[in-house]
Amino acid sequence: MTYNNEQFHSFPAPAKLNLFLHIIGQRSDGYHQLQTIFQFLDHSDTLEIKVIEGSNIELLTPIEGVPNEDNLIVKAARLLQKHIQQSAKNTYPLPLGAQIRITKILPMGGGLGGGSSNAATILLALNTLWHANLPLDELAQLGLSLGADVPIFIHGFSAFAEGVGEELTPVHPQEHWFLVSKPDVSISTASVFTSPDLTRDTPKVNLIDDITKLDIDLCHNDCQTLVIKEYPEVAKLLAWLVEYAPSRMTGTGACIFSRFDTEKEARRIQSLLPSGIMSFVAKAVNTSPLRSAIDSLYALQESN
């Protein structure tokens, strides 16, 4: 098998929103049972990957404050590498390696799923570049060991999610424009989910009814209630934003998304934001931009 060692291939690692997030229970192993709707944004980190012979996984652009060994990018690559070798029962021709660069624009500790998205992009991209051709369900199961949000990024469609976030039912919420804003705080997902004050008994949404009839505005984010008590910066920004548009925290925060019908109106409110607030405007999409990038690469490989 011959590889082009001169070429980096580029892949998006998009943000996600939790349009709502209900915590309905906690399992004996500590994981939380939830219900949520995931939707993607056309706003992404960018990962560039070059296949190399040998078994080295090299992250050429370390992320400040995150040792490479702890980075989900490296963990995902090594997890896939090991899985391929084991599933091939030592018949795979080479222990494949990769050089990886990341251009990171998604904030850490924001609730946009940046780390999980990076991991999913690595799994999907290297599965194709290494010609492993593992099915999506198998990749999603691998990804779940890295984080509960990884499977949604693997499958790449907007979904109603249950379990710990891995039981997915495709849905098609309206693709609004969103202003995403973040105060100068970073929130640990672990600290939110281990807090004794987190609500863990929200009644389940009844899926006997058509999920398309679910009124998301009547739902909520259980994590938001806790976070605004402990992070006054988030509470203050949310109170400001709800004066202009329906606004809610995504995931465990600290990002807040505000919904608009037009890009123009979203950017107008963005221009009014208080100083010190990180923000971007993006359109929601029900199909991840990563899927088209993987499809294009696969088609290119098939034509060669």
* CA-to-CA separations, 259 to 38, 180, 265, in angstroms, rounded: 15, 9, 10
Task: At 101, list the tokens.
Answer: 């660069």
CB 72 within 8 A of CB 143: no
Cis peptide before 254 (omega within 30 of 0): yes
Q: 16, 50, 75, 182: which one is catalytic? A: 16
Task: At 73, list the tokens.
Answer: 């990018």
CB 34 within 8 A of CB 162: yes
Q: DSSP secondary structure string, 86-142?
A: HHTTT-SS---EEEEEEE--SPTTSSS-HHHHHHHHHHHHHHHHTT----HHHHHHH
Q: 45, 75, 149, 182: which one is catalytic? A: 149
274 secondary structure, DSSP code: P
The end-to-end CA distance of the chain, in Å, is 13
Q: Tell me the longest C-alpha to C-alpha distance in the chain.
A: 61
16 as an active site residue: the answer is yes
Alpha-carbon gap, residue 181 to 63, rounded angstroms: 22
Q: Please compute, for residue 284, the number of CA atoms within 13 A of its CA located in the half-sphere on the CB side.
A: 27
The Cβ of residue 276 has, within 10 Å, a number of other Cβ atoms equal to 9
149 as an active site residue: the answer is yes
Catalytic site positions: 16, 149
